[in-house]
Structure 1
Amino acid sequence: MDISAIIITKNQEWNIERLIESILRGTAMLDNVEIILVDSASTDATIELAQKYPIRIIQLHAAQRLTAAAGRYIGYKHSTGKLILFLDGDMELDAAWLPKAMNVLENHPDIAVVSGLIIDLPKDAVSPVREPAQTAPEKEFFQVKYTGGAAMHRRDVIEKVGSFNPYLYSDEEPDLCIRIRQQDHRIVRLYHPMVNHYTDPPGGIWSLVGRWRRNLYLGAGQNLRYKWGTHLFWPYFKERGYGCVPLGGILLGVAFFAWALRTGRLSWFWGCLLLAVAGLAADAYRKRSIYRVASSLLERLFIMDGTVRGFLMKPSPPDGYPAMLEIIQ
């Protein structure tokens, strides 16, 4: 099977060589393999380091909307393989995963996407050496609803359901996976590690604020707007519309306050508010941390805010994404 490996990067000079070399090792015994790097206007040495390898390099211009989805969309548009392997720039491919994944796709025509276990490691970690498993698991894979940034797709299925939406700031993988499952295809994850994912540990409240500033909470709302009035709206809403839950709670609270004010039953409102505060206090006691409760509340607010703002954004047709790019190599 022909394979196109698509890498998306943004200022990842610290890992790009490790990633490319892992793909070259993993595909060394295969014919008809292409590696395409799509870079989102990096300002470090990512491109210069990548040019040492026999790969294709495309750089997107900074003047357009740059998202992970856009990188995957452009990479797919420039690829030719029957199987499309998507990887992020902060990953390292486990060479033993690829033949297992190809075997699953060859023997199970109804499976459209294969992923694997994601091993999170600190950025400064050394590539771990894994010993071969002494015993094989009873099952080779298990079914999942979504994959993350690392997965291998059948090209013909992407052609049928549509590629990544390049305008989405986030939630592009669930969007594509829901479309795939709606066509009665399966998505599976192997029990074998697929990639090492080199990343900093979550930074609590400041990490949430950083994600909010980068518009990474907008994706669910954008998807709801794109799917409004289509057969995909309710399937997506049921799985990814949880940002509407706190919004519904706030609207219900405002309506209850207005009713209590109009009927002279403010004591009922204050009683309910006191119960809510007591619930938060109990949650803080259970988690042994007021900070964790505050982080959880802030995250819910950011998700709600992103859902509303994303829904209010005017959707642009994915096929109209501007091809402002430079073919580097």
Structure 2
Amino acid sequence: MKVTVGIKALNEEKRIADALESAVAAVAPFGGEVVLADSGSTDRTIEIAQRFPVRIVQLANPAERCCGAGAQLAFQSARGEYFYLLDGDMIIDPGFLPAGIAYLEANPDVAAVGGHVRERNTQGHEFQIRANTVANDRNWAPGIVDRLDCGGLYRTSAVREAGWFADRNLHAFEEFELASRLQARGWKLARIDVPAIDHFGHTEDGYHLLLRRIRSGYSGAPGEVLRGAIGRRHLPIVLRRLGHVRNGLAVMFWWLLLIVALATWHPMVLLALLLVPLLFLSWRRGSLRLGLYSLTAWNVSAAGLLAGFFRRRTPPDRPLGAIELKQA
């Protein structure tokens, strides 16, 4: 089989029909397949998916639910020579798979290729910042990149050489972690000048999103990535390129300075320590509102770095238990 599009989903009844329809249309020219990997939806996600000519697999143990487990469940059920992972709130562009497959076949040293990501919801703090990042970060521009955030088309053989698609322990950063393992083995990643997906994302306020990330374990993902890299060949890449680790360590040092200033009671130093990061981030983000949100997010991420690093792990190469609900 030429290509598999895997869709990971949890309670995505609002968007899942659009995601499935786009995926089925995308694989049709190749005789490919679509696999819906559900992590235990309690809404109408499965009912809606039953209408489409797709395979449906569900995580057997809901306690294992996380972003990495959903992605890995989709991959371990795939049969295609190439694999694209789609979230349940994404729509794949019909022209991307032909362009992506042609690029990979012409460039045998490239393990994966992505395209342009169009963010459709930019009301919240987080997605305003992400939209600005998409517009300015080199990893979102065409060319050789060091990660494929929001998805890409992967050579199945390269992923298997690297061990697994997504570390089943991760609550986020699956694409970065996979890219690090691939690059540590000499593979390249690229982004081409072709539309790939429309991403709708969350519409909630940024602070509510931060709270959701704390409750779901998402905020601990940088620590999980770092812990998983200990003793492996991709550790130097993680230390060099995962900004959340560097930022988290910087915030911890800032906490230490605040404690010292408070304990020795230097009010002006304490005030400067509070104002300087806020003013810097406000200048960088273009507004005081986004600067304050960034400062809050950095503190949440630093706390998560510690929590995630010490979180209990399951061997990432252990297959996930799955229930097949429907064959295509």
Query: Once the two structures are superposed, what CA deviation does each residue of 1:200-236 show, in whole Å capped at 9, x if it has no partner?
Result: 4462222222222221111110121122233332321
Does the 8 Å CA contact 2:258/2:273 hold for their aligned counterparts? Answer: no
Does the 8 Å CA contact 1:19/1:90 hold for their aligned counterparts? Answer: yes
Instruction: Name the amino acid aligned to 1:162.
Output: G
Instruction: Name the amino acid aligned to 1:148.
Output: D
Comparing 240-249 with 79-88, greater Cα deviation is found at 240-249
Comparing 273-282 with 176-185, greater Cα deviation is found at 273-282
- Report the counterpart of residue 24 of structure 1 in structure 2: 24
CA distance in 1, matches of 2:142, 2:282: 39
User: Residue 155 in 1 paired to residue 159 in 2?
Assistant: no
Instruction: Name the amino acid aligned to 2:152.
Output: A
CA distance in 2, matches of 1:101, 1:284: 37
- Report the counterpart of residue 11 of structure 1 in structure 2: 11
Provide the identity percentage: 26
Does the 8 Å CA contact 1:64/1:324 hold for their aligned counterparts? Answer: no
CA distance in 1, matches of 2:120, 2:176: 24
User: For residues 28 and 245 of structure 1, do their structure 2 counterparts lie closer, same or farther at Cα, with a shift above 3 Å needed?
Assistant: same
CA distance in 2, matches of 1:284, 1:29: 47
The alignment covers a number of residue pairs equal to: 304
> Equivalent residues in 2 for 1:284-299 (5 A)?
286=283, 290-299=288-297
How far off its partner does 1:121 sit?
A: 1.6
- Report the counterpart of residue 187 of structure 1 in structure 2: 189
Query: Once the two structures are superposed, what CA deviation does each residue of 1:80-114 show, in whole Å capped at 9, x if it has no partner?
Result: 11111111111111111111111100100011111
- Report the counterpart of residue 272 of structure 2 in structure 1: 275
User: Residue 250 in 1 paired to residue 255 in 2?
Assistant: yes
How far off its partner does 1:29 sit?
A: 2.0
How far off its partner does 1:250 sit?
A: 2.2
User: For residues 246 and 102 of structure 1, do their structure 2 counterparts lie closer, same or farther at Cα, with a shift above 3 Å needed?
Assistant: same
- Report the counterpart of residue 131 of structure 1 in structure 2: none
User: For residues 192 and 308 of structure 1, do their structure 2 counterparts lie closer, same or farther at Cα, with a shift above 3 Å needed?
Assistant: same
How far off its partner does 1:47 sit?
A: 1.0
Unmatched 5+ residue regions in structure 2? Answer: 123-140
RMSD: 2.5
CA distance in 1, matches of 2:48, 2:78: 22
Instruction: Name the amino acid aligned to 2:148.
Output: T
Does the 8 Å CA contact 2:281/2:294 hold for their aligned counterparts? Answer: no
User: Residue 69 in 1 paired to residue 68 in 2?
Assistant: yes
- Report the counterpart of residue 129 of structure 2 in structure 1: none
Instruction: Name the amino acid aligned to 1:306.
Output: G
User: For residues 28 and 303 of structure 1, do their structure 2 counterparts lie closer, same or farther at Cα, with a shift above 3 Å needed?
Assistant: same
Instruction: Name the amino acid aligned to 1:114.
Output: V
Unmatched 5+ residue regions in structure 1? Answer: 124-139
TM-score (norm 2): 0.84
How far off its partner does 1:64 sit?
A: 2.1
Does the 8 Å CA contact 2:84/2:152 hold for their aligned counterparts? Answer: yes
Q: Secondary structure, in 3 states, of the residue corresponding to 2:33? A: strand
CA distance in 2, matches of 1:176, 1:285: 32
Larger-Rg structure: 1
